[in-house]
Chains A and B, each alone.
Chain A
Amino acid sequence: MSTMTRPVTEPEARTSPDATPRTRPRGWTVLLWLVVAFLFVNLAALVLSVVVDSFGTRWFGTWLPESFTTHWYADAWHEFALSHVLLVTLEVALAVVVVSVLIGVPASYVLARRSFPGKRVLMLLFVLPILVPPITYGIPLATLLYRWHLAGSMTGVILANLVPAVPFVILTMTPFIEQIDPKIEAAARMCGAPTRVVFTRILTPLLVPGILAACILVLVRTVGMFELTFLTAGPSSTTLVVSLYNAVFAAGIRANQSVDAMATIYTASMMVLLIVALRFVNPTQLVTRVREEPTE
């Protein structure tokens, strides 16, 4: 059983040093990398054309815009009230992270340590919100939130985003807790520590790396979650990704460049988040651990 998370200072964490000899490039590998490189160049050009456009003045039928400017960023910032939107995004994401960890970690502790009647049903219950497309439960959920007068507010957006976040924390934390030696807890109990103390003094310090990893992933997912936020957000509670979508479809003629500027801001912030996340989490291991659970 390998651990779910590991610092990146340890590359190839899964493969033991003596595993496979370094693969020698063969014909098909070279061809494959050529194809991948070609597609990647296309993708880079695709991204670049948006970035170039967001800095360009007038671009029509030429290779490059006539001249360059930064005023689309200033425009986008004011026009879409980006400072407010970014603040909302941050608040929603942080609230979702904190609540999902508080609810999810105790549950994953039980799932990791105990076997009890109905455990499989419970596991299924926690897997479903991740397996079902958000829009299918998002529509009835939004309808309910409107009925409860919660939709359109920050609370509604946070509640909706928690629906996939809590199961996600549970599914990432359960294998992580499984690999912590239960003897440590047993020893604490032998010394007379009640459950609460075992939790705060013994388990929490051991869980910090896993919790941190889960936090970052929930953060990335929440910032990027379109459907649920889109269905539940009101004018004052839109997050960046929804506000970006609205900018494309909002009424009135809008400069394409300011949408591009905003898309660039979104992607840049997501990239920072992802790179931070990759410093803490080895993605390939994480996904295995997450996906392994529901099927075993």
Chain B
Amino acid sequence: MTVGLDRAAAPRRTLRHRLADRGIDRTLWLVLPATAFVLVLFVYPFIYGLELSFQPLEGGGAFANYKEFFSDPYLRDTIWKTMRLALPAAVFNVAASVPVAYAMRGRVRGKRTITTLLVIPITLGTVLTAQGLIMYAGPRGWLNRTLTGLHLIDQPVVLVHNYTGVFLSLVITGFPFAFLLTLSYLSGIDPALEKAAATLGAGSWQRFRKITLPLLAPGLAITFTLAFVLAFSVFPSAQMVGKPTGATRVISIAAYDAAFQKFDYSMGSTIAMIMAVIMLIVIALVMVWRATLYRGATGGKG
């Protein structure tokens, strides 16, 4: 090899090498289809929706839809109604999953069976849950018959076609997800830590309160976020076991009505954008709170 040849090849090769040093080479083409896909079918529709929301059907300036949404109590209150359902449901699902998952950590007899049983409600789907709630918890259902039969109540309890119905449905469909996540975060915590605490004389409550819970908290923040996403977009159950014109007229119903019942795509997109903003605010708040928590190498999964 001569010196001249080397020099001629040098600049091109260096550029390529310099790029390769930064991690840019031909392998990166592999990520292109997925990126293009997400850009075309997720980012572009989002931007399109945002743009559409500033082009109201009946004119009145770019912000007419937003003004209408926040001035019409029928629309504005959907935010409050959704929050009133989604926040307690998410909090309940996460809070209830902690003791169950805590009892399931480590080696428990029949762990897999119990996990499967607790996860099975995922398969019920909203329609069967709704039908089941109407039949079982309805005025003539087994629940009310049993309760009146035992003389615990005189009048059937009204559990469906109201707030309670949707809440129950959200718990049935949401709990398995929260439980799975909590259990997996909990199994990520090194059991040796708890043992060490026990060696130092900590009781079981102290071990939970001082060792496990602080390590679990970051994972719980993620679990809460996902449980909230799930509950926040409640749509079919609010229609079926709720009161879609009253107490459970949630924001997704309002968005759907606007877009596909009134064919006002602009208003539909506006409401969808408002939903996304609320969602992102909640996620951001949880993440800010989460950032204050301990996230060590041991356990603090997620």
Q: Number of contact residues on B: which range applies?
A: 35 or more
Cα-based distance from A163 to B23 in the complex (angstroms): 27
The reply on A122 being an interface residue by CB < 8 A is: yes
| Shortest Cβ distance from A23 into B: residue | B106
- Check B35 against A140 for contact (C-beta < 8 Å): no
- Check B136 against A288 for contact (C-beta < 8 Å): no
Contact segment of B1-9, B73-81, B87-95, B137-145: B137-145
- Check B183 against A195 for contact (C-beta < 8 Å): no
The reply on B65 being an interface residue by CB < 8 A is: no
Residue from the list B112, B131, B301 in contact with A8, Cβ < 8 A: B112
- Residues from chain A with Cβ under 8 Å of B194 in the complex: 20
Contact with B along A2-20 (1 / 0, CB 8 A): 0000001001101100011
The reply on B242 being an interface residue by CB < 8 A is: no
- Residues from chain A with Cβ under 8 Å of B183 in the complex: 284
The reply on B157 being an interface residue by CB < 8 A is: no
- Check A49 against B132 for contact (C-beta < 8 Å): yes
| Shortest Cβ distance from B239 into A: residue | A249
- Check B272 against A12 for contact (C-beta < 8 Å): no
Residue from the list B41, B122, B130, B180 in contact with A162, Cβ < 8 A: B41
Known contacts A26-B204, A143-B268, A163-B41; A107/B33 CB under 8 A: yes
Cα-based distance from A133 to B225 in the complex (angstroms): 11
The reply on A68 being an interface residue by CB < 8 A is: no
Closest Cβ of chain B to A73, distance in Å, is: 15
The reply on B43 being an interface residue by CB < 8 A is: yes
- Check A116 against B24 for contact (C-beta < 8 Å): yes
Cα-based distance from A255 to B232 in the complex (angstroms): 31
- Check A133 against B279 for contact (C-beta < 8 Å): yes
- Residues from chain A with Cβ under 8 Å of B283 in the complex: 131
Known contacts A23-B106, A46-B137; A224/B125 CB under 8 A: yes
Known contacts A125-B35, A270-B123; A50/B27 CB under 8 A: no
Task: In the A-B complex, list the 10 residue pairs whose CB atoms are closest, starting with the nearest.
Answer: A140-B49, A20-B106, A133-B233, A116-B23, A107-B34, A270-B123, A106-B30, A288-B184, A46-B132, A284-B184
Chain B positions near chain A (C-beta within 8 angstroms):
22-24, 26-28, 30-31, 33-35, 37-39, 41-46, 48-49, 52, 99-100, 103, 105-109, 111-112, 115-133, 135-137, 140-143, 145, 172, 180-181, 183-185, 187-188, 191-192, 194-195, 204, 222, 225-226, 229, 232-233, 235-236, 239-240, 252, 255-256, 259-260, 265, 268-269, 271-273, 275-276, 279, 283, 301-302
6 contacts between A and B (CB under 8 A): A42-B143, A49-B142, A106-B34, A143-B265, A270-B123, A283-B115
